[in-house]
């Protein structure tokens, strides 16, 4: 029997697992910041049409998450329950993401453009779910040791932030260099490079990891409906579910118009200001570095505050910082950069804290109902995030259309005000609402520790 009190993972396996989230974030961060700009200003979609597409595709994608989680829970192969999906879907993942940006010459008809955008976007979202839900669930079965799981979480976030930093640092220079002035070709070739890199990262993740926690003997006998029933009776999960929607709506809505905000409102061009970086690239990449620096302070924060209080405090600080962007004048470039660094820094510890709370939520479900469905719990968390992405993706298109945004033209005062509202006011309000909601999270630190002690005895 495995000794659950002894860490068993080596550095190679931790790095390998982290590379899985690097692969995911090469696309996630690319889409978060550049996809709306690509669809409106390069591919030529009407913002309202794009918003409807995001709504339809992401709603379907969100429904897929619990289905995929339940399916993965019931998969049994020689390579484990969850790892095989990395091997099966790595190449389709890389290829489907590239197809979104392929922009073939035959796509000249406006109707055909819309059909192609729907087909490729929905295809990619389904494949993303098929590989990312099992990847997330792997964290619960690679090791039974709590310290190992915390380390896996840390390496996962480092891998994720590293992927995001690479995107922010290189996409705009690569698009310009590879496209030679043709943005459509530049995006196509740049996404091709990141697609190949993501495939390699997933293969390494598959090869360097191993599932060690044996599945429950009766896992296949419990119906999906019953598992979902347990989930919706889990009050801490319901709070975190709504918080997840608010968080991702805030992040994705703001990210969707970042390029528009920098180019049209702030007036930043693609002129190089530091090495190969223009002002927007420097803004995005420096913010990511601040985010990573904040991530390193997670342990320091949790040594001094409970997970709940730390998350409330940091989320509220981030909300106030986002609001402040609305009042900073355009010419105060240093202030804009410092404010961006502050918002990114205080947000840095929050992902690790959120996933730590989800672990507590999963423990609560096992303690309360005697049933732990790892894949479903993690996929349900991602379902909340996908709902936030759905709302933000649709809202970004509808709001741009409502405020009169027209691609590749000088914007009206109403359109510029709309960009400021979408970038500053709405995300700030969502972050503040998230902080208030978390005040109702019911599990205290003492209750969590007592619950985990009882579970340790039961498992032993």
CA distance linking residue 181 with residue 175, whole number of Å? 8
Say if residues 163 and 23 touch (Cβ distance below 8 Å).
yes
- What's the pLDDT score for residue 1? 42
Say if residues 66 and 228 touch (Cβ distance below 8 Å).
yes
Nearest CA to 314 out of 334, 298, 293 is that of 298
Of the candidate ranges 347-356, 415-424, 449-458, the one whose mean pLDDT is the lowest: 449-458
Residue 219: pLDDT band (50, 70, 90) is very low
Claim: this prediction has a pTM higher than 0.85: no
- What's the pLDDT score for residue 274? 82
Q: Tell me: the pLDDT tens digits for 1-53?
A: 445 456 788 899 999 999 999 999 999 889 988 998 999 999 989 999 998 99
Most confident stretch, 47-51, 223-227, 322-326: 322-326
Whether residue 152 is predicted with pLDDT greater than 90 in this model: the reply is: no
Could you give the 3-state DSSP secondary structure of residue 143? coil
- What's the pLDDT score for residue 198? 97
Of all residues in the chain, the percent with pLDDT exceeding 70 is 93
What is the average pLDDT across 235-251? 90
Calculate the alpha carbon distances from 256 to 170, 314, 318, 325 in Å: 18, 23, 18, 16
CA 382 centroid distance within chain: 9
Whether residue 200 is predicted with pLDDT greater than 50 in this model: the reply is: yes
Of the candidate ranges 26-30, 325-329, 451-455, the one whose mean pLDDT is the lowest: 451-455
CATH of domain 12-212+224-459: 1.20.1250.20
Q: Tell me: the pLDDT tens digits for 67-102?
A: 888 888 788 888 888 999 999 999 999 999 999 999
56 burial (CB, 10 Å; 0-12 / 13-18 / 19+) is middle
């Amino acid at each position: 029997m495995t000794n659950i009190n002894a860490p068993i993972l080596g550095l190679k396996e931790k790095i390998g697992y982290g590379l899985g989230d690097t692969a995911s974030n090469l696309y996630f961060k690319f889409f978060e910041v550049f996809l709306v700009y690509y669809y409106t200003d390069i591919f030529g979609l009407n913002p309202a049409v794009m918003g409807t597409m995001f709504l339809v595709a992401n709603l379907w994608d969100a429904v897929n998450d619990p289905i995929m989680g339940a399916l993965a829970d019931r998969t049994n192969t020689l390579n484990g329950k969850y790892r095989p999906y990395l091997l099966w879907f790595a190449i389709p993942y890389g290829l489907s993401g590239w197809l979104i940006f392929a922009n073939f010459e035959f796509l000249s008809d406006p109707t055909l453009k819309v059909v192609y955008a729907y087909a490729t976007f929905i295809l990619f979202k389904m494949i993303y779910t098929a590989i990312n839900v099992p990847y997330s669930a792997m964290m619960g079965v690679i090791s039974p040791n709590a310290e190992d799981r915390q380390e896996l979480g840390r390496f996962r976030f480092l891998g994720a932030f590293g992927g995001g930093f690479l995107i922010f640092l290189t996409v705009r220079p690569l698009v310009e260099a590879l496209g030679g002035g043709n943005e459509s070709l530049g995006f196509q070739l740049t996404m091709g490079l990141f697609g190949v890199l993501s495939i390699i990262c997933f293969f390494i993740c598959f090869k360097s990891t191993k599932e060690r926690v044996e599945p429950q003997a009766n896992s296949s006998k419990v119906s999906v409906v019953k598992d979902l029933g347990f989930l919706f009776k889990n009050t801490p999960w319901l709070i975190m579910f709504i918080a997840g929607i608010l968080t991702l709506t805030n992040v994705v809505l703001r990210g969707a118009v970042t390029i528009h905000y920098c180019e049209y409102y702030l007036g930043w061009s693609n002129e190089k200001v530091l090495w190969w970086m223009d002002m927007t690239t420097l803004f995005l990449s420096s913010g990511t570095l601040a985010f990573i620096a904040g991530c390193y302070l997670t342990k320091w924060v949790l040594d001094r505050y409970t997970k709940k209080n730390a998350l409330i405090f940091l989320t509220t600080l981030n909300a106030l910082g986002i609001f402040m962007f609305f009042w900073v004048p355009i010419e105060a470039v240093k202030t804009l950069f410092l404010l961006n660094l502050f918002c990114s820094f205080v947000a840095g510890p929050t992902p690790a804290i959120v996933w730590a709370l989800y672990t507590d939520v999963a423990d609560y479900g096992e303690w309360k109902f005697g049933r732990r469905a790892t894949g479903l719990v993690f996929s349900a968390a991602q379902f909340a995030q996908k709902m936030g992405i759905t709302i933000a993706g649709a809202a970004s298109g509808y709001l741009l259309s409502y405020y009169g945004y027209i691609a590749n033209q000088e914007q009206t005062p109403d359109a510029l005000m709309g960009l400021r509202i979408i970038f500053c006011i709405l995300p700030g309000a969502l972050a503040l609402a998230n902080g208030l909601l978390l005040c109702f999270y019911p599990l205290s630190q003492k209750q969590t520790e007592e619950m985990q002690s009882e579970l340790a005895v039961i498992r032993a």
